[in-house]
């Protein structure tokens, strides 16, 4: 006689968040992510200078960049621009590209998948072969080719990343 046994479906442990909260490295990583995100979101109010603003007092008499100090928290670059302001605005640009690219990839992938599943026949087959074709190319090579075709802008970069 054979006994049939069933294994219960895996469930998320009840104390998973509590265990995660006890890990110092996880909390440090979360704090770092929150600080960078807050800095990117509030960059116009936090940054002491505009990111492209060149200041004559940002260079020494010899024309060298200023070291970190009172007026320039992280110093200046070779053109006298504040590095802290540029860092905050750069994080803002990266955050925008990441959110737009992920949202567009989610939307495109969902629409292609739903359409291919609903219209199974020849249309579904064409959509799935197109998906296979996109996955066959190396992502970096495809991104470079797409970026070379279109004029460079923030939104084009986000869409190229979403398509790859």
| Buried/exposed 107-120: b ≥16 CB within 10 Å, e otherwise | eeeeebeeebeeee
- The pLDDT > 70 percentage for the chain reads 95
**12: confidence class by pLDDT, cuts 50, 70, 90:** low
* The length of the chain, given as a count of residues: 164
Contact residues for 118 (Cβ-Cβ < 8 A; gap 6+)? 124
Question: What pairs with residue 16 in β-bridges?
Answer: none
Q: What is the pTM of this model?
A: 0.74
- Residue 122 contacts by C-beta under 8 Å, 6 or more apart in sequence? none
Q: What is the pLDDT of residue 43?
A: 93
pLDDT at 139: 84
Among 48, 46, 67, 45, CA closest to 58: 67
* More confident call, 14 vs 100: 100
**pLDDT band for position 137 (50/70/90)?**
confident
Give residue 37's pLDDT.
95
């Amino acid at each position: 006689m054979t006994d049939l046994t069933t294994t219960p479906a895996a469930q998320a442990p009840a104390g998973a968040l509590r265990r995660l909260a006890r890990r110092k490295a996880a909390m440090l990583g979360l704090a770092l992510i929150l600080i960078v995100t807050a800095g990117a979101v509030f960059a116009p109010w936090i940054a002491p200078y505009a990111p492209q603003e060149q200041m004559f007092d940002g260079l020494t008499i010899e024309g060298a960049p200023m070291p970190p100090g009172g007026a320039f928290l992280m110093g200046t670059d070779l053109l006298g621009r504040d590095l802290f302001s540029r860092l905050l605005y750069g994080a803002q640009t990266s955050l925008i590209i990441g959110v737009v690219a992920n949202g567009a990839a989610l939307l495109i992938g969902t629409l292609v998948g739903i359409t291919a599943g609903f219209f199974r026949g020849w249309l579904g087959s064409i959509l799935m072969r197109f998906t296979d074709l996109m996955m066959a190319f190396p992502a970096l090579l495809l991104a470079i080719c797409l970026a070379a075709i279109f004029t460079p802008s923030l939104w084009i970069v986000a869409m190229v990343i979403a398509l790859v």
